[in-house]
Every structure is written in structure tokens, then in C-alpha cells.
């Protein structure tokens, strides 16, 4: 049996069922090695990808491919140049996991401010006196800076307001009037946001020229500020972030995304103090995975019927 749709990494069963109900043959790959994918790429008319993306080499092995759908927002791990050269559409599922990612960003902000991981470790090791040595942070009255103002950032802005925070943002896409209407102060650039913000949360995509938050920009953040990244690992220079935490310039940070996933455990982040790590969990709630899988399936069905 030939494969119509190759699912490179597992998705929720509702998405697979929708594809099959549409009369398509679906293969969910056992792993992402090229040799594993090769026989199914040979006939696949569509591919659904997650954080592994799809390389130019893989695309070259798929002569029938018409559409690549990213399960989520990011298409940066798909070789878009190779796809464009072949006229292969590259689509994503924007918004399907927005609420779950926004909630995860909020959880990480609170965990940093309230020293929750430190408190958990202290109680488990009998160090109840930690509460006399460290001070948590009250977020009400502080400023939350959002880099980007898409679906996720708008939800995070609402959470910030609910906590009594002032909210500002910088965006290359959202009009200032739109931010102002949401009670968010528009700022001209990331540097202005760094100077203004006690907590910086990233919600944009990488651009050419290296990390948006390199050592120089991290140094512009307020001393004692918090950085949270639930967007893309490439936005932050991981070694520079570790150095900013070691020096105490940043009081805490939380990272859900990494430049290379999974990250090497001997990388710079793993020895950094006051850093919370999570394994790209933001969009992995049951509700978000169901919505995203169904949205990916609908995108494939639409493309193949078109």
C-alpha cells in the first residue's frame, strides 16, 4: 500500500483518524531517521512534521510531495527553499496551541518569581529555612515586556494585566493602535523594552543575523530581571544567558525551547543557576494536541483536494 500522508512524528489520534476518514493512507513513522522515512517519502503527497521538520534531502526523496504541514506555528525546521523550488506548499497551524503556550509562559513567569523549583528542592532536602534566605517577587506593579504581539503574546498580556502588571510590547507586525487598544504600551525596539521591563517574555520568530537576545541585549535588561522563552531557541544566545544568570545580572530565566532539541546535557544552560528548563512542553496539553492535530489534518485534506 502506498503512503499518501507521512506523519514524521506522532500526532494526536484524532488527526490521523480525520486523514483516514478522508480516504487517505497514513503512515506514522517509527522514528525520524532518513532511512526510516525513505520508503514512505517515495509516494507521499503530504507530510506532517513537528520539531524535527523536513530537510532538503528528505524533500528530494519525495517526488509526489505537494504539501508540508507543520504541527504548530513554526516552519523554521522545514527546508522552505527546497520546498519552494519544487512548488511544494508549506503550511502551519497557527493559533491551535496558542492558549496552552500562553499558559505555560505564565506558569514559567510565576515559577521564576515565586522561586517554586527552589522551594520544592528545599522542602525535599529538609531545608525549610530556605524561606529565610531567599525572597520571592510580587509581580503586581511590575512591568511585563512582550517581544512580539501575536496570538500567544496577546493572551499573555491579558494574564499580566490580571496579575496587576503593566504590559508593554514590541512588534514588527502588530499596529501600535492595536496594542494600545489592548492596554499594552507599544515600544519602538527590543532595547527600549529591555530597559523598561522587569519580566521579558519572547513570542516572536528568529531573524537573520544571530540571536535576538545576545550578550549585548541581555546586558541591556534591568538588573534582576527575568527572561522567559517559549517561542524559539534560536532567539537567545544560550551561553550568554547562562553567563547573565551566573553573574546575577538576571535573577532568573525559564526556557521551553532550545537551539538544538533535545539539548546536549553538557551545554551551557545546564550548569546555570536560577534557570527553569522544560522540554518544549508549551503546546503539549491534551486539548492543544487534539486541536493542532486536527488542524494539521484539515490543512492536508484541503491542499490535496485543491
Is there a shared CATH topology between the 5-96+286-305 domain and the 98-277 domain? yes
How many CA atoms lie within 13 Å of 37's alpha carbon, on the beta-carbon side? 25
Q: Find the mean pLDDT for residues 162-185.
A: 98
pLDDT classification of 51: cutoffs 50, 70, 90: confident
Residue 306 has pLDDT above 80, yes or no: no
Angle between helix 98-113 and 116-124 (nearest 10): 60
CATH 3.40.50.720 fits 98-277, yes or no: yes
Q: Where are the domains of the chain?
A: 5-96+286-305, 98-277
Sort 136 into a burial class: Cβ within 10 Å, 0-12 / 13-18 / 19+: middle
Can you tell me the distance from the alpha carbon of 202 to that of 221, in angstroms, rounded to the nearest whole number?
13
- If one counts every other C-beta atom within 10 angstroms of the C-beta of residue 150, the result is 19
Asked if residue 16 has pLDDT above 80, the reply is: yes
Residue 291 has pLDDT above 80, yes or no: yes
pLDDT score recorded for residue 248: 98
What are the pLDDT digits (tens) for 138-173?
Answer: 999 999 999 999 999 999 999 999 999 999 999 999
DSSP class of residue 8?
A: S
Give percent of the chain above pLDDT 90. Answer: 95
For the segment 29-49, the average pLDDT, to the nearest whole number, is: 97
Task: Output the average pLDDT for the chain.
Answer: 97
**Nearest to 274, CA basis, from 302, 303, 243:** 243
This prediction has a pTM of 0.92
Q: Which three cell numbers stand for residue 186?
A: 507599544
DSSP one-letter code for 213: B
pLDDT at 74: 83
Rounded mean pLDDT, 110-129:
98
Q: Say which CATH topology domain 5-96+286-305 has.
A: Rossmann fold (3.40.50)
Looking at residue 184, its pLDDT comes to 98
Return the C-alpha cell found at 241. Answer: 544567558
> How confident is residue 226, by pLDDT bands cut at 50, 70 and 90?
very high
Q: Which sequence positions are flagged as catalytic?
A: 232, 261, 280
Over range 187-209, report the average pLDDT.
96
Cell reading at 187: 515600544
- Residue 179 near residue 160, CB atoms below 8 Å: no
pLDDT band at 73 (very low <50, low <70, confident <90, very high): confident
pLDDT for residue 1 is more than 80: no
Q: What is the pLDDT at residue 207?
A: 87
Amino acid at each position: 500500500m502506498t503512503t499518501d500522508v507521512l506523519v514524521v512524528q506522532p500526532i494526536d489520534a484524532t488527526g490521523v483518524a480525520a486523514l483516514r476518514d478522508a480516504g487517505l493512507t497514513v503512515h506514522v513513522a517509527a522514528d525520524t531517521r532518513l532511512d526510516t522515512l525513505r520508503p514512505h517519502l517515495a509516494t507521499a503527497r503530504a507530510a506532517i512534521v513537528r520539531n524535527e521538520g523536513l530537510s532538503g534531502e528528505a524533500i528530494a526523496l519525495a517526488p509526489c510531495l505537494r504539501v508540508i504541514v507543520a504541527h504548530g506555528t513554526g516552519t523554521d525546521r522545514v527546508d522552505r527553499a527546497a520546498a519552494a523550488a519544487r512548488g511544494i506548499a508549506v503550511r502551519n497551524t497557527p493559533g491551535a496551541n496558542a492558549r496552552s503556550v500562553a499558559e505555560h509562559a505564565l506558569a514559567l513567569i510565576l515559577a521564576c518569581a515565586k522561586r517554586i523549583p527552589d522551594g520544592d528542592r528545599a522542602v525535599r532536602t529538609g531545608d525549610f529555612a530556605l524561606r529565610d534566605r531567599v525572597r520571592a517577587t510580587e509581580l503586581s506593579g511590575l512591568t511585563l515586556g512582550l517581544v512580539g504581539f501575536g496570538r500567544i503574546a496577546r493572551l499573555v498580556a491579558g494574564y499580566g494585566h490580571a496579575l496587576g502588571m503593566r504590559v508593554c510590547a514590541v512588534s514588527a507586525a502588530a499596529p501600535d493602535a492595536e496594542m494600545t487598544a489592548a492596554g499594552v504600551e507599544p515600544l519602538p525596539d527590543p532595547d527600549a523594552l529591555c530597559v523598561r521591563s522587569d519580566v521579558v517574555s519572547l513570542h516572536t520568530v528568529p531573524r537573520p543575523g544571530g540571536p535576538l537576545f545576545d550578550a549585548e541585549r541581555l546586558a541591556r535588561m534591568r538588573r534582576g530581571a527575568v527572561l522567559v522563552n517559549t517561542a524559539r531557541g534560536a532567539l537567545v544566545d544560550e551561553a550568554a544567558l547562562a553567563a547573565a544568570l551566573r553573574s546575577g545580572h538576571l535573577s532568573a530565566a525559564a526556557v521551553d525551547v532550545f537551539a538544538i532539541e533535545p539539548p546536549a546535557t553538557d551545554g551551557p544552560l545546564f550548569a546555570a543557576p536560577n534557570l527553569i528548563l522544560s522540554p518544549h512542553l508549551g503546546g503539549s496539553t491534551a486539548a492543544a494536541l487534539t486541536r493542532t492535530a486536527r488542524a494539521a489534518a484539515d490543512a492536508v485534506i484541503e491542499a490535496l483536494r485543491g
